[in-house]
Amino acid sequence: MASAKQTSPTLSDAAYGGRLFIKFGAIALVVLMVGRVVLNMSVSLYKFLNPPKAPPPTYGFGTLPPLEFPGAGPTITSYTLQTKTGTLPKLVTQMPVFFMPKQAIGVLSLDDAKKQAAALGFAFAPEQTSTTTYRWKRSSPLPATLDIDIISKHFTMKVDWASNPGFLSQKVLPSQQTAIIRVRETLQEAGLSARDMATGEAKISFLRASGTSYIPAVSLSEADFVQVNIWRSPILGKYPLVRPDPLQGNAHFILSGGIDAGSRIVQADFTYTPVDYERFETYGLITPQTAWQALQAGKGFVAYIDTGVQQATIRSVYLAYYESDAPQLYLQPVYVFVGDQNFFAYVPAVAVSPAALSSQSSNR
């Protein structure tokens, strides 16, 4: 019987097999990579075309108290909508409403206010001007007063710079960056540098003297004073906080070119109420069209427009949160209408809850 002839692989066979393995392995790898990209794109496209529905608003705080605006604003006789698109924007249909803890007087409230006053350059004992407000005075280097609410820590400081006829000759005004740093350091020394203020937007403007008052200046070279406004940082990184005066921040300081430390800040206003960002409930919003109709019907609050202007041309509409100077229990969203001649108006954005609507209907 003839024996079977056995052969062993040659080097050329091994090389050929290796090339096939590499070839088909590369093809398989490309197929997997392309397939993964196609799969991810398909999933993304599906999610884009079929976005998941947001959970319904919770209305967990119940019916919210109405926003309190500071009296009647300027009178507007007509409104014109002239946005870039010529239409109202498409915005979100619900937003969180945040709880604002009620502040109360404590045994150390006055001591804390005294430390705050000392940081602002007022060392003498204060006089009580109301149940919660105290006033500090000083006469050097210039007459000045400081009023502090010992519960809210809101304060107003004014320096009588006009009492010194040569005061404005001191024209060593701080640079824009130096002015901002100086204000932030002052707030920190006074124990008022909250996290959302430390990262908030800061704006600089220039002022010059007009008698004992201030009027805008075009540039630093023409200015007698540098004005600094600092706001809270936007909520969720995109919703700013607006105030009764939209041009004035939570911290509003006017700085001079004074050489003495006690004359560098000639006016300061600070209004800040803590917000519990961890405690919130979601609320449905009225549509931009409904807000626009409310504004035209006189149901909004015109916060600012240049003097003598009675016709408003709206250029943009966005959502923000309204922060009153007076205590409020909840931080609520508003529609902000911005236009020519420094026009700013607010319309409350929260819609009445379905439960409240049904309750109102049953009570009729």
AA identity, residue 176: Q
Domain ranges of the chain: 78-100+278-363, 109-272
Do residues 147 and 155 touch, judged by C-beta distance below 8 A? yes
pLDDT in tens, 239-267: 999 999 999 999 999 999 988 888 899 99
Please name the residues in contact with 72: beta carbons below 8 A apart, sequence gap of 6 or more: none
pTM across the whole model: 0.81
Q: Is 249 exposed, middle or buried (0-12, 13-18, 19+ CB in 10 A)?
A: buried
The pLDDT, as a whole number, for residue 101 is 94
40: helix, strand or coil: helix
Place of tokens 């350091």: 185
The model's pLDDT over 114-159, given as tens digits with 9 standing for 90+, comes to: 999 999 999 999 999 999 999 999 999 999 999 999 999 999 999 9
Question: Can you point out the beta strands (E) in 259-324?
Answer: 265-270, 276-284, 301-304, 311-322
pLDDT at 359 over 80: no
> Is the pLDDT at 354 greater than 70, yes or no?
no
On the 0-12 / 13-18 / 19+ scale of CB atoms within 10 A, 81 is middle
Query: What is the per-residue pLDDT across 202-226, written as a single tens digit (0 to 9) for each?
Result: 999 999 999 999 999 999 999 999 9
pLDDT in tens, 20-50: 777 777 787 777 777 676 677 666 665 556 5
- Amino acid 266 reads V
pLDDT for 357 equals 43
Residue matched to tokens 């509003």: 252
Reduced to 3 states, what is the DSSP secondary structure of residue 184?
Answer: helix
Q: How far is Cα 328 from Cα 197, in angstroms, rounded to an integer?
A: 19
> Tens digit of pLDDT for each residue in 156-169?
999 999 999 889 98
39: CB partners within 8 A, 6+ apart = none
Measured CA to CA, the distance from residue 251 to residue 228 in angstroms comes to: 8
Whether domain 78-100+278-363 has CATH 2.10.10.90: the reply is: no
State the average pLDDT for the chain. 89
Burial class (CB in 10 A: 0-12, 13-18, 19+), 134: buried
Q: Please, are residues 240 and 231 in contact by the beta-carbon 8 Å criterion?
A: yes
Please list, in sequence order, all residues whose beta carbon lies within 8 angstroms of the beta carbon of residue 209, skipping any fewer than 6 positions away: 162, 168, 215, 224, 225
Q: Of 277, 225, 271, 274, give the one whose Cα is nearest residue 249.
A: 271
The Cα 291–Cα 350 span in angstroms is 10
